[in-house]
Amino acid sequence: MYKINADLCKKCRICEKNCPIGAINVTFDEGGKKAIAVDITDMCVECNVCRRVCPFGAIETGERTEGTVQCGSCSIQCKIPVGSTGGCKRYSNEGGKLVRNRALVVEGLPQTYIDEKIVKPVITAVGAGTAYPCIRPAPHIVCENRDGVDVVTTVTEAPLSYSGVMVKLDTNTYIGEEGDTVYAEGKPVGLVQTEEYGSKMVYVGGANRLTGDGGFATARTVCALANGEEVELTVKTLDKHTEKMKNIKIICQQGKAPIINGVQEKTMRIGCGSATIGLMASVMKECVDECIVIDHHVTGLFTEHLAGKEVGMTYSGVVPNATKSTVGRYFGGHGDGIGGTVLKTPRDAIKSVDMSLAWEGMRILVTNTTGEVGALFKVLANGDVEEIPMDEKATRVINTINENCQGSTCSVLYTGGTGGSARGGVCKCPKAITEAVHDGRAHLTIGGAEPFVYPGGGINFMVDTSKVVAKAFTWVPTPATVAPVEYTMTLEEYEKMGGHMDRIKKASDFPEYQK
Ligand code: SF4
Ligand code: SF4
C-alpha cells in the first residue's frame, strides 16, 4: 500500500477526489472545514491514480500487508489486500483469493424483436417524391399481403435539415485534432470527431452547417458522400512545429481506401500498440529480444508488457520515447510521424537503454500497428543502438502483423432526424408513428436499409449508406438533404394509429412492383 509523506503533502485533497475506491482518509479541524491530515488507509491497492494526480509528489510506496493478491486482469495490476477491491471495483480479495465480485449474468434485458413480416418495406421511398407541406399524406401508402397478414409501407423522400454523414476513415495517419474544422469547396462543412478504434472520424453536415455560411456546399458534400461519390475534404489544423495553420487533404469515397495528402492508405491497424503486442507476443518471443510497436494511441513495449511476461519475457531495459501509462503501455504525442505520432524515424522510438538490464548485441525491432514499418537495431556496449538490416525473423514479425490487418476503407454513415413531412405523411398524429417505431410496432428503413434508431425522443437514425439503394440521396436548396424514409407495419396497426386509410394503394397496382 501507499503512504503519504506528511512533509510534502499540502492537503489539497486532489488524491481523495481521484482515489477510485475511497481509500484516502482526511481529518478536519474542529470547524470541520480545513483539512489537517491526509492518510491512506489499508484498503489501498496501489492503483497509482493518487501518485499520478498529486501535484507535490507526496505519495510514496509503503509495506505490503499480508494476504495481498496482485490482480492481472488489466495493466494496472492492483495489489489487493484482504477485504479490499481493485481500482475498477470488479475484483475483491476474499480471504486471500481474488474473485470477480459479481455473479455471471445469463439473461440480458428483454429486447424488442421486430415481427419478420414488417422487416422489409413493400416498396422503398427512392423515386417516390415528397409530401410537402407536412399536412399532406405520404406520396405512396402501399399494402401487400404477407402470409395472410396485410402489411402497409408509407414512403416519402424526406427533406431533413437535421442530417449529415459520419465518415469513418481506416487510417493511423494524422488528419488534424479533434474539433478541427473540415472544409469542402472552400466552405466549412464539418469537423474532425473523436477517433474510433483504428479509424479517424469526420462529421460532415448537421443542422448548423446546413443553415450556415457553407450550407449549399455542405448539402452537396453530404449527398455526394452518401451516394458513394468521391469527395475532397480539407482539414485546417495548427502545425505544432511552425505554429501556423496548415491544410490536410483527404480524398474519400464509400468503400475505397482514403487518400491523405496524396498517399493512399493500404491497411487498417490490427489494434493499438499494446493490443498488437497482446496478439503477437508469441511470434515476437520467437523472433526478437525486444519490440516497440509505435502507435498514436498506445505505444507498446514487448518485454515489459503483461503479454510479454505471459510468454516468459523479462524487461529488457529499453525505454521508449513516450510517456509511460502502465506496464508496457506508453502514450505518445499526436503528429504526422510514424503511426500518427510525432516520431519521424524508427530510431526516434528508442529513448535509452539501461545496460544494467540490457546486453550488447540485443536485437530491438521497431514496428507499427500495421507492420508497414520495420527497422531492426542492435544494442552496443555503451548503451547506444545501431540500425542493422532486417533479418528473416524480424521480417516474420512485421509480416505476421501485416497479414492480420484488414484493408483500409472509407465508410459513410448517414444520420438524420425525421421531422415534419417524414412523419406527418404517415398518419394524423406524429407521436403515434414515433412511438410505434420505438416500440417495434412499425419498422423504419432508409432506402430499404436497416438503420439504427437512437433511443429517446423523436426518430433519429443512423444508416450505413453502402446498404441503401444506389444514388438514393438528393438535396433541396433550403438547404436540406433528402433521404428515402419508409415505415412498415401491419394494416391493423396502421388503422389504429390513424393512418390515411383512404390513400392506401395495392402493391400490385405499381408497374415497378410487377417486375
Ligand atoms: S494530492 Fe498530494 S498534496 Fe494533495 S492531499 Fe493528496 S497527498 Fe496531499
Ligand atoms: S482489473 Fe484488476 S488490476 Fe485492473 S483495475 Fe481492476 S482490480 Fe485493478
Give me the pLDDT at residue 38, please: 96
471-505 per-position pLDDT tens digit:
999 999 999 999 999 999 999 999 999 999 999 99
CA distance 298 to 293: 9
CA distance 488 to 144: 11
Cα(92) to centroid(ligand 1), Å: 26
Domain check: are 88 and 120 in the same one? Answer: no
Query: Which residues have C-beta atoms less than 6 Å from ligand 1?
Result: 4, 9-15, 38, 54, 56, 58-59
3-state helix, strand, coil in the chain (%, to 5): 20, 35, 45
Q: Cα–Cα distances in Å, from 447 out to 123, 139, 157, 350, 504?
A: 9, 15, 9, 52, 20
Query: Does residue 419 carry a pLDDT above 90?
Result: no
5-59 per-position pLDDT tens digit:
999 999 999 999 999 999 999 999 998 889 999 999 999 999 999 999 999 999 9
Phi, psi dihedrals of residue 457, rounded to the nearest 5°? -70, 160
* Of 100, 127, 143, the domain-final residue: 100
Q: Which atom of ligand 2 is nearest to the CA of 45?
A: 8
CA distance 469 to 448: 7
Q: What's the distance, CA 59 to chain centroid?
A: 34
Cα(334) to centroid(ligand 2), Å: 28
Residue 502: DSSP 8-state: G
Domain check: are 383 and 424 in the same one? Answer: no
Domain check: are 338 and 424 in the same one? Answer: no
Domain check: are 334 and 445 in the same one? Answer: no
Domain check: are 13 and 65 in the same one? Answer: yes
Give me the pLDDT at residue 63, please: 83
Q: Report the percent of the chain where pLDDT is more than 70.
A: 100
Grid cell locating 103: 455473479
Give me the pLDDT at residue 131, please: 82
Residue 27 lies in a domain: yes
What does the mean pLDDT of the chain come to? Answer: 95
Look at ligand 1, atom 4, and give the residue with the nearest C-alpha: 12
Grid cell locating 13: 485533497
Residue 108 lies in a domain: no
Give me the pLDDT at residue 514, please: 64
Report the pLDDT averaged over residues 194-200: 90
Residue 237 lies in a domain: no
Report the pLDDT averaged over residues 420-445: 91
Domain check: are 51 and 145 in the same one? Answer: no
60-87 per-position pLDDT tens digit:
998 888 899 999 999 899 999 999 999 9
Residue 451 lies in a domain: yes
Domain check: are 422 and 459 in the same one? Answer: yes
Q: Cα–Cα distances in Å, from 470 out to 136, 166, 439, 474, 479?
A: 27, 18, 29, 11, 22
Query: Does residue 512 carry a pLDDT above 80?
Result: no
Q: Quickly list H helices, 227-342.
A: 273-287, 306-310
Cα(39) to centroid(ligand 1), Å: 9
Residue 242 lies in a domain: no
238-282 per-position pLDDT tens digit:
988 889 999 999 999 999 999 999 999 999 999 999 999 999 999
Report the pLDDT averaged over residues 147-158: 96
Report the pLDDT averaged over residues 417-428: 85
* Of 384, 403, 422, the domain-final residue: 403
Look at residues 351, 354, 373, 371 and name the one whose alpha carbon lies nearest to residue 362: 354
Q: Which atom of ligand 2 is nearest to the CA of 20?
A: 5
Domain check: are 489 and 444 in the same one? Answer: yes
Confidence of residue 403 (pLDDT cuts 50, 70, 90): very high
Query: Does residue 515 carry a pLDDT above 60?
Result: no
Domain check: are 378 and 278 in the same one? Answer: yes
Domain check: are 289 and 309 in the same one? Answer: yes
Using left for φ > 0, alpha for ψ between -120 and 50, and beta otherwise, residue 96 falls in left
CA distance 344 to 506: 65
Write out the DSSP string of 356-410. Answer: TT--TT-EEEEEETTS--EEEEEE-TTS-EEEE---HHHHHHHHHHHHTSPBP-E
Domain check: are 353 and 394 in the same one? Answer: yes
| Counted domains in the chain | 3
- CATH code of the domain in which 45 resides: 3.30.70.20
Contact criterion met (CB below 8 Å) for 90 and 102: yes
Residue 211 lies in a domain: no
Q: Which atom of ligand 2 is nearest to the CA of 70?
A: 3
Q: Report the percent of the chain where pLDDT is more than 90.
A: 88
342-370 per-position pLDDT tens digit:
999 999 999 999 999 999 999 999 999 99
Residue 260 lies in a domain: no
**Collapsing DSSP states into helix, strand and coil, what is residue 284?**
helix
Domain check: are 324 and 446 in the same one? Answer: no
Range of the domain at 57: 2-100
Residue 225 lies in a domain: no
Cα(7) to centroid(ligand 1), Å: 11
